Structures are given as C-alpha cells and as structure tokens.
Chains A and B, each alone.
Chain A
C-alpha cells in the first residue's frame, strides 16, 4: 500500500487545517498552547509515518531482483476516454524511492526544526498545514506513474510554495515574492504541459511504462523524426528550468527567501527545486536519444552554475547567498543529466539535499539567534556564542565546497568526471571555475558570520543565544549525513583502490530506471580519474584559500578587491541586472500595452454598453410622464386609440 506514503501528510494537513487553522478548536475551548504542541506533533508525525513507510518499501525493493525493482499500485481509473485511459496509480521504483526517502526524511527533520523555529509565530497551525500539503504534493509528483499525475504534483508544489513563500503575507514585499515564484513557475509549467501533449501525440499514451517502452523500441522510433524527440526534451526542460530555477527563470528563487527559513530549506534546497532534475532523470530516454537537447541542457546548466555562483560572491544577505548557491548547484545536477550521467545528477541531488538543508537550517539558527537579522555585515564572531550552529555550518560549507571525504566531494567529482569523459571540455572548465567560486563564497559566508571581530550591534548582542534542541538536533543529524551521505556512491575507481569492487552502490541501484547508457568512452584522455579528482580538490582548495586570505588573514583587503574590480563587483552585487533587464524587456512593454488596451476597454467597450443603457433610461423617463394616474386621460387615450384603429381598418380593408 504505497499510497499511504502520500496519504499520511494529506491526513496531517486535513487535521491541522480543519481543527486548528479553521478556529474550531479554539471555539470549543482549546487554548493556544495545546494547539501549538498538537499541530506540530501531528504534522511531524504524519511525515515521520511516511518516512518509515517509504523506508520499509525501500528495503523491500532492495531485496528484489535488480531488473524487477518496481512496486505499482493502481487506485482507480482516473480519465476513461475510449481507448485512452489514465489511471490514478503510483509507482515505487529505484528512482522514486530515492526521492521519496529524501523528501520524507529531510522533510521530517525540517518539520521538527520548524516546531522550534516557528514557536512564536501566530500562524503556527497554518504553517504546518501548508508544510504538510507541500510534502503531499511533492510525493504525488515523485510517485505518480504517469505524466498527468506528475503534473498534478508539479502544480501542487507550485501552489504550496506560493502559500509558504508568501506566508507572512501582511508584509507586501513577501507576498510579492510568493506571487513572483508562482508566476515565473507558470512560464515553465507551460513548456512542461506542452511537452506532455507532444508525448501523448507521439506515443499515444501518458503512462511511463508505455511511453518509455515505445521510445526504446527501435521499430517504433523509426517513424518518429529526431527533431520531435529533441522538441519533447526541450519542452520538458523548459518546465524543469522554471521549477529548478535555471537561467533564465531562476529569478524567483532568491526572492523566495522571503518565506520562513525552514521553508527555504524544504522547498528551495531539498525538494521542490529538485523536481525538475527528477523529472528529467525520469524522462532520460528522450535525452539519451537527442544530442541536440543534451547540448542545450548542458550549456544552459553550465551558464546557470557559474552565473549564480558569481552573484553569490557579493551578496550580504545570509539566505540570499545560499539561494544563489542552490541555483548554482542545481546547474551541476542539470549538467550531469545533460551529459547522460543521470545517476551522478541524482546523487548530487541527494547529497545536496543533505548539506543545503543543513546550511539553510543553520542560517535559520543564526537568524533566530540574531533576532531576525540577516545581514552578514552585522555578524561576525558568532562561533563562541552559538557553537553547535557554527560547527554544523562549517561541515556544510566543507561539504558543498567539495572537500575530500565529505558527501559533496563524491557527487561533484562524479559530475566533473562525467563532463570530462564525454568530451564536454569547455563545460568542464566552466564547472571547475564554479568549484573555485563555490568554495570562495561559502567560506566567505562562514568567516563573515562566525569568525573574526564581532560587528553585532550592541542592542542585539546581549540576546544572542544558541537555538533550542528542537533546532540543533536536526542540524546535527544533517551534519552527520553531510559527512557520511557520500559513501553510498564512492566512484568505482576509488573503491578499487581500497579493494572494494563496485563501490558506487548508488549508481548501480538507480541504473535500473535508466534505460539507455550514453557513456561513450572517448578515444584517449589526458587525465585519469585520479587526476580529475585532484583538479576538483585543487580548485576547492584554491577557492577556500582566497576566501581565507581575504576575509580572515587580511580582512581589509576584501574591500580593496571590491574597489579593484569596481564595475564587476557592482554588477555582481546587483545580480547582473537580470531583474532590471526583465523589467525593461517584459514588464514595461506589457504595462504600456495594457494601458492602451485599458483605455480602449474603458472608452469603447464600456462606453457602448453604458451608452445603450443610458439611451433606454432616458426613453423610459420621458415615457413615464404619460402615466398620469388620471382615469379620464386613460379613457380618452383608449377612445382615441380605438378610433384610430377603426379608421385604419376601414380605410385599408375597404368596408
């Protein structure tokens, strides 16, 4: 009964929504304190049950034969239409099981963390209702066994993110951020649904097994032009670009930091933004067959990775740095998917979920300690005050930078090796530069926040305190995962060195859902695997060294650097003016056209409608005076009328 994985969060949301958010509980004498603890426990418990259940089925999958790892449960026929039917059915296979585990377990930790973080918030029960709705839709997206069901989840998480980002809707700017996320996502969704239509048109089905089965059948594919497969791949990619915040649709994600910090951790690090990567890995069969689509995906992903990393360098808001870092890391995942290294992309998705959730929750802990201050220029020297947060944050920083033996190292190295192996030299170099930038901005963030002289304003200084256990325990769990999480996917060549064959368990597990292997071994390589790993470690070390020098050894020199690269620094600080560019290209012309049309609407269309009404009204007012109420007038009119009619009849009928 895999459907219960999905139903538990829905039940949790229903209880919280109907009982607490509706005010019923208070109406019948419940007090706020018990309401708070109850709603937190219900929401976290619901996700915990899902997590336990998905773990149970995951273990079942492991015990199955590799080629049969699939549990499908059909609930009912959803859209019966002649020969074409869509069922409401869910599938638990090697791909969706990984996602389900990440969503439920990390989601559970974030729920626990939220009970502490949101403790003083008025909308406590509402918050947990939304959070459960989000998990529910995300699980539908991941576990659905056909494209329409995935689309339901796809739209559902869009809605949930709109609700959660705009959670503090009393603040206009935050409500605006929620709206922006929703609208930008819509643009991507448009591409996604067009892709689904095209799939239906070509393969006459929307069920995964049937579509992928036909797409793998060479005789069926003979009749399908290559350009169509490329188009399908690119349309789906447009959807992924929206949801997973790739260039040019990434602009919503940094603004989405307006939501509560645990929301940022859940939506913008661990689950929703990875939906695009999941979807493309699911549809790997199209990408494997279309080199053009692959080329475009890799190029956009590489550009996104380096662009976002360059913006993250100069941001001063602790959460904004992490947001751009997420955009950049998602670029890595898409690079991997673009070159056909789907397992590597998903592996990075998993490890990224660990350390990015850790970093976001850590930043939440800092914000909590600093009484809602998010500007790192007003921090510094916090390590002694909040040691647990500082240490876990440092572990996250090292993991994302790709220091050896931490989770991020293994997954990032896989991607870099895949880029190199498949001959994407230019993209490989871009990815390496991004590694330098990643290490640089992450260590800058850590150093400015936790080390050096304190720049905390006196008014806040006295209140800086470590967060409660409900917040620090998830941090510690995530820190352990960030360290150890990479060992399920140690590259085979490293495993061999210490005498373990096939040490990349992750790849072997996931490969059951990957239909075509595009790993083409190119003639000869300059560098072996060890050298490649050495390059990425060297780049990370270089970035860390620069950060350490600029922000720790000689703190004043960072300002000199900023002056030296004046225009560049300013452009990066202003996010390369992409938002302004959009404003200029899209928003302003649309506003102008809307103005013209509104004049036409008000003047012509409304004028015509109102004009007819006015004419009728005037006529009625004039005719009204005929009604005098004097009986003699009526009698006379009747007599005259009768006389007139008689006259006419006599004249024309010739009596």
Chain B
C-alpha cells in the first residue's frame, strides 16, 4: 500500500466531516464532524511521516490531538451552557451574530 491510499482515505474522511459540519443542525453532531476532519488530517500527517521516514508528521499529529482534546473540553462546556440557556442545540436558532 502506497501513501496514495492513505491520502484518499484521509480526503474521504475530511469531506464526510465537512459535509456533516455544513449540513447537520445538532451541535453535538457538528462537533463530532469537526473531530472527524481533524483526524483525517492526522491520518495524512502519519502517512507522510511513514512514507518519508521523518518524525515531524508524528509530532504534528500528537500536537493536534492534544489541542483537539483541550478544544473539545471548552466546546462541551460552551455546549452545556448554551443548552441550559436555550433548551435547544439547534445551531440554526443561534443567530445572535447576524449583521
């Protein structure tokens, strides 16, 4: 298996994630789709690292997983807070930033 296969898989995962972010209304699902996109990128990093024999890709992957973990902690806290205020997780209802 060459690096292309991994990259194709990574692209498919990314598109699925992006589609989910754009289309779904439930905030939790949106966050999950975001995770999917991040992980598709991680997959690409690791695939390149192995193919090139360079550790940089691994370092970037661990970095992004760490950041994503922290981000999800904050994101979930916001989500809980939003739910307690609005009693809904429909992102189409959250339009306070309208111009």
Contacts and interface: CB of A to CB of B under 8 A. Distances in A.
Interface of A: 624-632, 635-636, 639
Interface string B84-99: 0000000110111111
A340 B30 CA distance: 104
13 contacts: A626-B99, A628-B98, A629-B95, A629-B97, A629-B98, A629-B99, A631-B30, A631-B91, A632-B22, A632-B23, A632-B92, A635-B18, A635-B21
A639 B99 contact: no
A101 B30 CA distance: 97
A627 B94 contact: no
Contacts of A628: 95, 98-99
Contacts of A624: 99
Contact of A629 (B22, B23, B25, B96): B96
Contacts of B91: 630-632
Contacts of A627: 97-99
A639 B18 contact: yes
Contacts of A625: 99
Contacts of A639: 18, 21-22
Interface centre among A624, A628, A630, A631 (most CB of B within 10 A): A631
A627 B97 CA distance: 8
Interface residues on B, range: 10 to 19
A633 to B, nearest CB: 9
A379 B25 CA distance: 99
A79 B4 CA distance: 85
Given A630-B92, A631-B94, 15 more contacts: A626-B99, A628-B95, A628-B98, A628-B99, A629-B95, A629-B96, A629-B97, A629-B98, A630-B91, A632-B22, A632-B25, A632-B92, A635-B22, A636-B22, A639-B22
Interface string B7-25: 0000000000010011101
Contacts of B94: 629, 631
Contacts, number: 34
Interface in B43-99: 91-92, 94-99
A624 B97 CA distance: 12
A330 B47 CA distance: 108
Nearest to A627: B99
Nearest to B30: A631
Contacts of A631: 30, 91, 94
Contact of B95 (A626, A630, A635, A636): A630
Interface of B: 18, 21-23, 25, 30, 91-92, 94-99
Interface centre among B18, B23, B30, B94 (most CB of A within 10 A): B18
Contacts of A636: 22
Contacts of B96: 629
Contacts of B18: 635, 639
A627 B98 CA distance: 5
Nearest to B95: A629
Nearest to B37: A639
A624 B92 CA distance: 19
Interface centre among A626, A627, A629 (most CB of B within 10 A): A629
A639 B92 CA distance: 18
Contacts of B97: 627, 629
A515 to B, nearest CB: 82
A630 B21 CA distance: 12
Nearest to B92: A630
B91 to A, nearest CB: 5
A624 B22 CA distance: 21
Contacts of B95: 628-630
Interface centre among A626, A627, A630 (most CB of B within 10 A): A630
Nearest to A632: B22
A631 B22 CA distance: 8
Contacts of A630: 91-92, 95
Nearest to B34: A635
The 6 nearest A-B residue pairs measured at CB: A627-B99, A629-B98, A629-B95, A629-B97, A624-B99, A636-B22
Contacts of B23: 632
A636 B22 CA distance: 6
A630 B23 CA distance: 12
A629 B21 CA distance: 15
A360 to B, nearest CB: 73
A628 B30 CA distance: 18
Contacts of A629: 94-99
B43 to A, nearest CB: 18
A84 B6 CA distance: 88
A628 B21 CA distance: 17
B16 to A, nearest CB: 13
A625 B99 CA distance: 7
Nearest to B33: A635
Contacts of A626: 99
B27 to A, nearest CB: 9
B28 to A, nearest CB: 14
A630 B95 CA distance: 5
Contacts of B30: 631
Contacts of A632: 21-23, 25, 91-92
A209 B98 CA distance: 79
A630 B30 CA distance: 13
A282 B18 CA distance: 94
Contacts of B21: 632, 635, 639
A639 B95 CA distance: 20
A100 to B, nearest CB: 75
B67 to A, nearest CB: 19
A627 B22 CA distance: 16
Contacts of B99: 624-629
B77 to A, nearest CB: 17
Nearest to A628: B98
A635 B22 CA distance: 6
Nearest to A633: B22
A61 B25 CA distance: 104
A612 B23 CA distance: 41
A632 B97 CA distance: 13
